[in-house]
């Protein structure tokens, strides 16, 4: 079990050393995702969607950039699709 944890920490350190900016962007995107999820769960049935939607979309856009920089087509396609879908949802919410 100790070796598994050491390997994980080595992998994280290596990821940071390889591309510190991407590491920071992914960390920020992850924290925005967690923030949005916790806020949604805590405020159901009336979450502050007008505030959360742009934060969520920004996090997905950050993940899309990180995916592009990693040359990961699957993740890039996923996050670009999420950004597109959620931009439509936000615009519909703002125009109703």
pLDDT tens, 26-76? 999 999 999 999 999 999 999 999 999 999 999 999 999 999 999 999 999
Rounded to 5°, the CA angle 33-90-22 comes to: 35
**DSSP letter assigned to residue 44:** T
Residue 1 clears pLDDT 90, i.e. is over it: no
Helix (H) / strand (E) containing 96: none
Report pLDDT for 79: 98
DSSP 1: -
Model pTM greater than 0.85?
yes
């Amino acid at each position: 079990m100790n070796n598994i944890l050491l390997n994980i920490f080595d992998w994280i350190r290596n990821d940071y050393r390889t591309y510190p900016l991407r590491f920071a962007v992914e960390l920020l995107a992850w924290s925005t995702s967690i923030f949005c999820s916790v806020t949604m769960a805590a405020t159901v049935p009336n979450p502050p969607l007008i505030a959360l939607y742009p934060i969520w979309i920004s996090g997905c856009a950050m993940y899309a950039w990180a995916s592009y920089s990693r040359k990961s087509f699957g993740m890039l396609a996923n996050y670009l699709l999420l950004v597109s879908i959620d931009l439509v949802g936000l615009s519909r919410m703002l125009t109703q």
